[in-house]
A and B are shown apart, each in its own frame.
Chain A
Amino acid sequence: RKEVEQDPGPFNVPEGATVAFNCTYSNSASQSFFWYRQDCRKEPKLLMSVYSSGNEDGRFTAQLNRASQYISLLIRDSKLSDSATYLCVVNPPSGYSTLTFGKGTMLLVSP
């Protein structure tokens, strides 16, 4: 099983739609979880951390399910500017601050 797995997509949605991505991770002792956003040929940018209780930042909601070892990202009221690749990122329990990146899920929002 790969360390971090994501559906590569693309997810094609119209403006205003709600879309959700899931990500699974293999190491049950992983400690920290993040979603990053990456625009084409640009650097990854931290979108939000993911907390056990779930957390929301505007139109974005992240959830963590430790029992099933998956993380989700929900985007409400999609904007054209949300078109990007979303990377699921996990901090494995190595005691160090290295991160394991998923390969990303591509989102395309159309008018």
Chain B
Amino acid sequence: DADVTQTPRNRITKTGKRIMLECSQTKGHDRMYWYRQDPGLGLRLIYYSFDVKDINKGEISDGYSVSRQAQAKFSLSLESAIPNQTALYFCATSDFRQGAVAQYFGPGTRLTVL
């Protein structure tokens, strides 16, 4: 079984709809991250969380919100989706308690906003 899972894997929605992307991990890591990837732009950090009570904005947080429901779960919401939010979204985790900064990624969610 995958250590980091994301649901849904693919989603097509319409402009203005609310969308939630979910991420779960069984790695026991304390830190979780949401990225989006667009062709030619690379990976960009949306939000990150160091523990359940800690949420931080990344470089492109406008239009997004997150919730860290438990150590193992971190969800990303688009309150009112717009077409330029069409992208590949990745969740990642890291185990900073072990002094490690390397991140491990989920399989991604491909989101299309029409």
List residues of chain A with CB under 8 Å of any chain B CB.
31-32, 34, 41-46, 49, 87, 91, 96-99, 101-104
- A103→B42 contact, CB < 8 A: yes
A-B contact count (CB 8 A): 46
State the interface size on chain B (CB cutoff 8 A): 24
| Residues of the A chain whose Cβ atoms lie less than 8 Å from the Cβ of B33 | 98
- A34→B48 contact, CB < 8 A: no
Alpha-carbon gap, A45 to B31, bound state (A): 17
- A98→B107 contact, CB < 8 A: no
List residues of chain B with CB under 8 Å of any chain A CB.
31, 33, 40-43, 45, 48, 50, 58, 88, 90, 94, 96, 100-108, 110
Query: At the interface, is chain A mostly helix, strand, loop or mixed?
Result: loop
- A43→B41 contact, CB < 8 A: no
- B101→A43 contact, CB < 8 A: no
